Amino acid sequence: MTNITWPDGLPRVMRLVGLNANKKTAKVRTEMDAGPAKVRQRYTVATKDFTGSIIVTESQRQRLEAWYTTVLGNGTLRFVMKDPQTLEYAEFRFLEDYKEVSNDDGLWQIDMNLEKMNA
């Protein structure tokens, strides 16, 4: 497991409201010329994708941006954070760049698509 951790001072877990989780399939299905399809396991471990958001202040947004850019190499490296469902520490990586949306309170909603490794 990587030694890069989610930055201190940022929310530890994505909001459970609006959180989506999608377990990737670890199987392969092969259609046969006759009879039922064959199904076999492709991997021993599958990943699980999470889509969710955190609400942060401007200084927290800047901290996230600096961490994402410098420590994660623009989101290419894995990091450890709490799983939004189990609250256990697990390894994640970004599937794509996060999105920032400001609101009227001076806060930012950060929308993220993350992939949990070894789900």
Per residue in 44-94, pLDDT tens? 667 889 999 899 999 999 999 999 999 999 999 999 999 888 889 999 999
Longest CA–CA span in the chain (Å) reads 62
> Which pLDDT score, from 0 to 100, does residue 117 have?
87
> Which pLDDT score, from 0 to 100, does residue 17 have?
58
Domain count, the chain: 1
Is there a domain that residue 14 lies in?
Answer: no
Q: What is the pTM of this model?
A: 0.77
For residue 100, give its domain range: 20-116
> Which pLDDT score, from 0 to 100, does residue 71 have?
96
> Which pLDDT score, from 0 to 100, does residue 16 have?
55
